[in-house]
Amino acid sequence: MQKINEEILRELSSLVQALKDPRVKGVISLTHVEASRDLALARVYVSVLGGGADAGTVVAGLKSAAGYLRRELAAALSLRRTPELQFIADDSLARGARIQQVLSDLRETEPPRRMITAADAARWLAETDVVFILTHQRPDGDTLGSAAALCAGLRSLGKTAYALENPDVTTRYAPYIADYLWPGTPPEDAVLVAVDIATPALLPKIYESLEDRVALVIDHHETNSGFGRLNCVLPDRASTGEIIFEVLDAMGAALTQTTALPLYLAVATDTGCFRYSNTTSRTHRVAAALIDTGIPFAAVNLEMFEIKSRRRFQTEALVLSETEFFDEGTVAFCYLTQEMLAKTQADEDDIDNISALPRKMEGVEIGVTLREQGDDLWKISVRTSQRWEANRICARFGGGGHPRAGGCHCRGDRADIRRQMLEAVAEVKALHGHGRDSDH
């Protein structure tokens, strides 16, 4: 019966969060299910953890939706009989308050920047009932896929999890995160988890004030500043998605297609469909486990890595027409200006990962892409071969990233920034000799 109870709890947790009844509001957690052995009745215990909602009102709303929820449950689960649903208010708020007090005590006794393992993160999440997840500015497949998968995995364990709405999400990535969004600001006592965010400067502008409230950071960037109270930072993982996979596995969460699809998005996009040098045998083992669930991985690969819009081709043509080469063709500079974007009408989906363009040219070992932001501000993306480390170049401008991919921001005119970047490249080359031995 325990397995049946868990399956009912998992499906109902997802269904309840999608209800439109105004009475069913706030942070609602279905704590556990007790189904009778003949499946005639299932008692569903409900805790209301915030949002100004009254538990009695919420339970009344759920009772009104019981018929609909039972029908959806019958369609989702292969049970010999779908039980009647009885919703019961569960006094879990007191337990939640005790957990919050424990967390508060930990904040006073533990170092503010404690590094932990994936297993530690799993144990911490196991003791946390409600989680709100932050993603970074200009979100990519790794941050969004990691957030969606963590939400799905935690919900499958009966927990309440949301991803905070990110205004920068593009139409291509939106479907992967849509079912997990919490609109607006989180409750004041919310437990915040940041995924794939190396520094508070990468938080969306609307969430800058939440910097000091981040309880757990899960990330794979070598340059992570450790801004969370707890920080699970594993730079040897090719993506944050790999870490989320480990955390959920350690928690005992079943690997379903619902969790595997966003995880595959995270792993595949951060490894360039397993072509980048950050890809390891572990990455392939994780991908194999995800593919074994039956997800449409080929469709993800087609959408993310092969199909390009006409606007993308037009933008690439303009960028390539102004490309400059230095140091015997081993260094290439590409420029993406606002004028180019206005001419092609390209959006963020159209120009996703355009910073990889210069490194695709034969002989180029260091590719630098300058994207104009306005008011003399430029976003700099650096991609390198294994001979050189992009994050060392970007660190000279207050940025960072990975050895093969780094970023920073600079203010000034294009010619001046190009000069400064060339000087930084020359300094890195001088300090680190001829780089690594291989470009493979």
Residue 215 lies in a domain: yes
Do 73 and 84 fall within a single domain? yes
Strand order through the sheet with 84-89 = 28-35, 41-48, 84-89
Do 187 and 276 fall within a single domain? yes
CATH of the domain at 47: 3.30.300.20
Do 65 and 112 fall within a single domain? no
CA distances from 307 to 282, 302, 356, 440 (A): 28, 6, 16, 26
pLDDT of residue 104: 56
CA distances from 76 to 1, 7, 36, 155, 195 (A): 17, 10, 19, 16, 30
Q: What are the pLDDT digits (tens) for 191-236?
A: 999 999 999 989 999 999 999 999 999 999 988 999 999 999 999 9
Do 82 and 151 fall within a single domain? no
Do 23 and 112 fall within a single domain? no
Residue 437 lies in a domain: no
One-letter identity of residue 301: N
The total number of structural domains in the chain stands at 3
Orientation of helix 240-251 relative to helix 281-291, angle to 10°:
60
Is the CB of residue 40 less than 8 Å from the CB of residue 19? no
Cα 237 from Cα 243, distance rounded (Å) = 7
Helices (H) and strands (E) in the chain, counts: 15, 16
Q: Which of 272, 305, 338 is the last residue of a domain?
A: 305
CATH of the domain at 125: 3.90.1640.10
* Residue in this structure with the two tokens 């009778």, named with its chain if needed: 36
Residue 64 burial (C-beta neighbours within 10 Å; 0-12, 13-18, 19+) = middle
pLDDT of residue 433: 60
Nearest Cα neighbor of 7 from 124, 125, 158 is: 158
CATH of the domain at 330: 3.10.310.30
CA distances from 248 to 57, 131, 149 (A): 33, 14, 9
How would you write the pLDDT of the chain (440 residues) with one tens digit per residue? 778 888 898 888 888 877 888 888 766 778 788 888 888 899 988 887 655 567 788 888 899 899 999 988 888 888 888 999 998 887 654 455 445 555 555 555 544 569 999 999 999 999 999 999 999 999 999 999 999 999 999 999 999 999 999 999 999 999 999 999 998 889 888 999 999 999 998 999 999 999 999 999 999 998 899 999 999 999 999 999 999 999 999 999 999 999 999 999 999 999 999 999 899 999 999 999 999 999 999 999 999 999 999 999 999 999 999 999 999 999 999 999 999 999 999 999 999 889 999 999 999 999 999 999 988 999 999 999 989 999 989 988 888 888 889 999 999 999 999 999 999 999 888 876 654 443 43
**329-360 b/e (C-beta count within 10 Å ≥ 16 → b):** ebbbbbbbbeebbeebebeeebbbebbebbbe
Cα 37 from Cα 300, distance rounded (Å) = 42
Is the CB of residue 47 less than 8 Å from the CB of residue 29? yes
pLDDT of residue 101: 54
- Which DSSP helix (H) or strand (E) runs through 245? helix 240-251
Residue 139 lies in a domain: yes
Do 166 and 180 fall within a single domain? yes
Do 216 and 196 fall within a single domain? yes
One-letter identity of residue 22: P
Cα 174 from Cα 86, distance rounded (Å) = 35
pLDDT of residue 202: 92
pTM over 0.85: no
Q: Which of 47, 70, 91 is the last residue of a domain?
A: 91
Question: Which tokens in the block code for residue 89?
Answer: 């208010």
Domain boundaries, position 8: 2-91
Do 112 and 232 fall within a single domain? yes
Do 299 and 326 fall within a single domain? no
For residue 11, the Cα-to-chain-centroid distance in whole angstroms is 23
Residue 365 lies in a domain: yes
Cα 141 from Cα 212, distance rounded (Å) = 25
